[in-house]
Structure 1
Amino acid sequence: MSLKRRSLALTCAITSSIVLVGMTGTAAAQSSFVSGSSGLFSSESPATPSAPKNIIYMIGDGMGYNHVSATNLFETGQTRYQVEGEPGAVTPVEGGDAVQVFEGPEWIQVAQSTFQDGNSYDPQRAWADLNYVNENFTDSAAAGTAMATGTKTTNGMIGVDTAGETLKNTSEHAIEQGKAAGVVSSVPFNHATPAAWAAHNSNRNDLHAMADEMIASDLNVIMGAGHPFYDNNGNPIATADEDYMLASQYQRLANGETDFTFIEDDADFEKLANGDVSSTKYFGLAQVEDTLQHGRDGDSVTPYDVPQNDVVDLATMSEAALNVLNQDEDGFHVMIEGGAIDWAGHANDIARDIEEVQAFNTAVETVVAWVEENSSWDETLIIVTADHETGYMTGPNNDPNWSALTGAAGLVPNHGWHSGNHTNQLVPLFARGAGSADIAAAADQVDPVRGNYIDNIEIANLTFNKWW
């Protein structure tokens, strides 16, 4: 079975056997709901130590509330997080059980603001004006930098502040603490989000320079797409496509001229995922150009109606990375990105958006299983969130009022798109394990619909100033 089909089979198997659990919480947790809120903020989450030994930061790039909802609808025919009503009188839609593993009662659930330096999020304006969230939005560079460094910056800037001065990221901080660190992505390894945890550049498009910086870095794991000798269908090409990586950079890795053990064959990712690890530093370059699956040829009407690439999936890369990083007895930090959710959102492509969210969800399931087999919730923290929302996905009729997504299992939900870009919406954040109670406590701002929320600099600052 190919790695791609193994991932899909895992998703389908889990979906078909999942026990739906309502998230009403304890009485104390219920009392902490904001009136009308669909977001749970509870200090009654299971007690765990405050400082995690390991941090696993999982980012669905562009994955707003309705991206999660659309996937839940496709899988089960029901959902949550939906809102409807006229501006100024928006209310949550009742109902909706937990579907994904991170929606279960063991996880704290809050919202997160995402704006870049100089902008803001106004909870009242967000629900009083349909167009407000289409203004002053962040990009992945600024959002990733905020999440990685604890400092806001300007769109287009990676790992530097608004003046272009270098900022320390939590990967570097982990390494200073004697821990291992890595980045994993379903899009090019030096794209904005993984680069935010691995590079420093005032221009997110300076991809070759960031590739050089990452290749020369102290990271233990770098895995992603961006192969110069393969196309978007996973087919080899004779002349290098150097959009992300120069042929000379590839040759240095492939010829063993760097500190990394280089892998690119699917079978080698599989070996690492199965625990066959022989080095403390791996650079894994998937044999595809832009994305693992989103960029493949063919127009999708429903998910998976176009055959997928037979290329390593995000779940396998994630497990491989964890097995490498877990060799460090002092612990590790890793950022794992489902990056092509954002690409599907920009394209307003609901079929591939669901595919990408499912691939990300399967990676989360794999990581949760890895923690329970190889670590524990007393020493490991998993954070599942987004850097921003992309596409302004809503129900089918969003003018002049908000409308809810609707649909049945196995069908593309009834939906609408209202942007080809990012938005300034709050995004969901789920966390479980050591340190999760600190995240809940830091979510001290209140949105009238989403409930308590945290800003995107807070978790990095907890990492720097409290945990590590």
Structure 2
Amino acid sequence: MKNIITAFCLTLTLSACNTTDNQANTTQVTNTSTQPQKHLPKNIIMVVGDGMGPAYTTAYRYYNDDPNTPAIEETVFDRHLLGMSNTYPARVSGYVTDSAASATALSTGVKSYNGAIGLDVNKQPVQTVLEWAKLQGKKTGVVVTSQVNHATPASYLAHNESRRNYNAIADSYIDDGIKADVILGGGWEYFIREDRNLVDEFSVKGFHYIDNYSALATLPENKPVLGLFADIGLPWSLDDTDKNRLSTMTKAAIKQLENPQGYFMLVEASQVDWAGHSNDVAAAMSEMDDLSQTMLYLENYVENNPDTLVILTADHSTGGFTIAANGVYEWNPEILRSMKHSPSSIAKQLAKNDITATEASDLFNFTLTDQELIKLQQSKYNASEQTAAYYSASKEQQKSMSKPRISAALYEIVKQIIDARTNTGWTSYGHTAVDVPVFALGQHSEMFGGNIDNTDIANKIFTLLGKPAQ
């Protein structure tokens, strides 16, 4: 009863603080207020660990553990866990969501069909929390490790019937009114095209454009920024020039967004999901480490800026990741901590050269057994034979054949070696319907506790941004 009364009083307090009469408008981005409202967070940072089901944060605790101490060290995720969220999409898409439907729920408070970007089930635009924040005079930003027009960022910035319409979504970032003051991630392929150069168009609109991480340290003050650092998504954290690139981008974005009226920012650790789809535990733990470093920075930021709220959740879980497999009661992350290259990068290097014990062990950064080495060599030989057969076939025959890739075949063996060494299991290359964890810290973080729906997260953010109840 005490919790119910507390929540009711908080709702009354927040409602009383609402001073805006603005009507929802998904295309208008004009500022309509100039002062932050009392008792509401000045800044809200929404963090999405794409694909980050509960096994990922648990595995990261063991990956991050210092084996030289008797205790298993607490992680930043452990400190701020408040509850769980269910992720199912609109009824028409069943129980298992994709990233677009889930991000639309997280951004608008409305369930939709798989593939929907900021639309309801009738394909009508629904206002997002980022758009509403912009209307309240706040600055807004998007920081992701995918391309900036991928499903999650698009669901905060755009409205489109299909997440696959990448060019149209990118175009809408200009055509439907610029809604973000900072946009950081990948996407040259979609923003610098033969038919249209969106980078030039953003520059004409007053944006400062950068294409390398080092430029984040010297951004001009009080100027909007577009930063694109890769053709599509960023390299795996393990392979990138900055292994903590999400943290680096987040720090730069916050510095750029800080202002007297406050800001709303979306941060996405996009490639936790990509690692899950690939059943790649080494890449997954490195992406989780990048997210952890980002959350550690935000933890410190909230301590120094107590009028800031940070929420972290996942849109869904990916891969059916299991910590221990094959009936064996152990999980061994030791080799994951020492890896210097992603399994994908290792496979590409092995595809180029003869596979020797020395080269393979150097790439893995641990000594391979004779059996592991033979598996790699045999995989390469088989893939080479299949490649030769493909190219010796007629054009007509090739139409019914899959084009072999030696690096892809080796990638599967590299992952098998790592899974066997760590005793990691997977059940799927897709999404699963398990509930996902919710973390929050800062002003009014207690509102995000318990067992909630993903739409509740958006609706609570709307309340904290001063939007009247519908």
What TM-score do you get using the length of structure 2 for normalisation?
Answer: 0.67
Q: Given that residues 50 and 438 in structure 1 are in contact (C-alpha distance below 8 angstroms), is that contact kept between their aligned partners in structure 2?
A: no
Q: Match of 1:463?
A: 461
Task: Give the alignment partner of residue 269 of structure 1, picking from 216, 237, 244.
Answer: 216
State the one-letter code of the partner of 2:188. H
Deviation, 1:98, is: 5.3
Q: CA separation in 1, counterparts of 2:299 and 2:277? A: 29
State the one-letter code of the partner of 1:395. I
State the one-letter code of the partner of 2:89. Q
Instruction: Pick closer, same or farther for the CA change 1:117–1:398 going to 2, 3 Å.
Output: farther
Q: Match of 1:382?
A: 310
Q: Given that residues 384 and 430 in structure 1 are in contact (C-alpha distance below 8 angstroms), is that contact kept between their aligned partners in structure 2?
A: yes
* Structure 2 residue 294 is the aligned partner of structure 1 residue 363: yes
Q: How do 1:121-136 residues align onto structure 2 when only pairs under 5 Å count?
A: 136=95
Instruction: Pick closer, same or farther for the CA change 1:341–1:312 going to 2, 3 Å.
Output: closer
Residue by residue over 1:6-30, the C-alpha shift from the partner in whole angstroms, topping out at 9 and shown as x without a partner, is xxxxxxxxxxxxxxxxxxxxxx99x
Task: Give the alignment partner of residue 337 of structure 1, picking from 268, 276, 286.
Answer: 268
Q: CA separation in 2, counterparts of 1:192 and 1:318? A: 19
Q: How do 1:16-55 residues align onto structure 2 when only pairs under 5 Å count?
A: 51-55=40-44
Q: CA separation in 1, counterparts of 2:329 and 2:98? A: 26
Q: Match of 2:51?
A: 62
Specify the SS of the correspondent of 1:70: helix
Deviation, 1:180, is: 1.1
Specify the SS of the correspondent of 2:127: coil
Instruction: Pick closer, same or farther for the CA change 1:247–1:69 going to 2, 3 Å.
Output: farther
Going by fraction, where is helix more abundant, 1 or 2? Answer: 2
State the one-letter code of the partner of 1:289. D
Q: Given that residues 96 and 431 in structure 2 are in contact (C-alpha distance below 8 angstroms), is that contact kept between their aligned partners in structure 1?
A: yes
Residue by residue over 1:373-411, the C-alpha shift from the partner in whole angstroms, topping out at 9 and shown as x without a partner, is 4x22xx111111111000011133378xxx876225454
Deviation, 1:355, is: 1.1
Q: CA separation in 1, counterparts of 2:111 and 2:43? A: 24
State the one-letter code of the partner of 2:276. G
Q: How do 1:71-150 residues align onto structure 2 when only pairs under 5 Å count?
A: 71-76=60-65, 97=72, 99-104=74-79, 107-118=80-91, 136-150=95-109
* Structure 2 residue 179 is the aligned partner of structure 1 residue 218: yes
Q: Given that residues 70 and 405 in structure 1 are in contact (C-alpha distance below 8 angstroms), is that contact kept between their aligned partners in structure 2?
A: no
Deviation, 1:279, is: 2.9
Q: Match of 1:316?
A: 248
* Percentage identity across paired residues of the two chains: 33
Q: CA separation in 2, counterparts of 1:394 and 1:313? A: 27
State the one-letter code of the partner of 1:387. D
Deviation, 1:261, is: 1.9
Q: CA separation in 2, counterparts of 1:280 and 1:177? A: 19
Specify the SS of the correspondent of 1:186: strand
Q: Given that residues 244 and 290 in structure 2 are in contact (C-alpha distance below 8 angstroms), is that contact kept between their aligned partners in structure 1?
A: no
Q: Match of 2:426?
A: 417
Q: Given that residues 77 and 409 in structure 1 are in contact (C-alpha distance below 8 angstroms), is that contact kept between their aligned partners in structure 2?
A: no
Residue by residue over 1:40-65, the C-alpha shift from the partner in whole angstroms, topping out at 9 and shown as x without a partner, is xxxxxxxx996312110111100111
Q: Match of 2:118?
A: 159
Specify the SS of the correspondent of 2:279: coil
* Structure 2 residue 124 is the aligned partner of structure 1 residue 182: no
* Structure 2 residue 203 is the aligned partner of structure 1 residue 256: yes
Deviation, 1:466, is: 5.0
Specify the SS of the correspondent of 2:103: helix
Instruction: Pick closer, same or farther for the CA change 1:152–1:251 going to 2, 3 Å.
Output: closer
Q: Report the more deviating stretch, 406-415 or 210-219.
A: 406-415
Q: CA separation in 2, counterparts of 1:100 and 1:193? A: 25
Q: Given that residues 302 and 442 in structure 2 are in contact (C-alpha distance below 8 angstroms), is that contact kept between their aligned partners in structure 1?
A: no
Specify the SS of the correspondent of 1:454: strand
Q: CA separation in 2, counterparts of 1:353 and 1:256? A: 35
Q: CA separation in 2, counterparts of 1:209 and 1:382? A: 31
Deviation, 1:467, is: 4.4
Residue by residue over 1:63-118, the C-alpha shift from the partner in whole angstroms, topping out at 9 and shown as x without a partner, is 1111112222222168xxxxxxxxxxxxxxxx9855322322xx352111111011
Deviation, 1:464, is: 2.1
Q: Given that residues 130 and 156 in structure 2 are in contact (C-alpha distance below 8 angstroms), is that contact kept between their aligned partners in structure 1?
A: yes
Deviation, 1:212, is: 1.3
* Structure 2 residue 426 is the aligned partner of structure 1 residue 433: no
Specify the SS of the correspondent of 1:204: coil
Specify the SS of the correspondent of 2:157: coil
Q: CA separation in 2, counterparts of 1:162 and 1:322? A: 34
Q: Given that residues 181 and 225 in structure 2 are in contact (C-alpha distance below 8 angstroms), is that contact kept between their aligned partners in structure 1?
A: yes
State the one-letter code of the partner of 1:279. N
Instruction: Pick closer, same or farther for the CA change 1:280–1:391 going to 2, 3 Å.
Output: same
Q: Match of 1:88?
A: none
Cα RMSD, aligned residues only:
3.1
Q: How many residues align?
A: 346
Unmatched runs of 5 consecutive residues or more in structure 1: 1-27, 30-47, 79-94, 121-134, 229-241, 297-303, 444-452
Deviation, 1:435, is: 1.6
State the one-letter code of the partner of 2:423. N
Instruction: Pick closer, same or farther for the CA change 1:249–1:267 going to 2, 3 Å.
Output: farther
Residue by residue over 1:173-193, the C-alpha shift from the partner in whole angstroms, topping out at 9 and shown as x without a partner, is 001111111111001000000
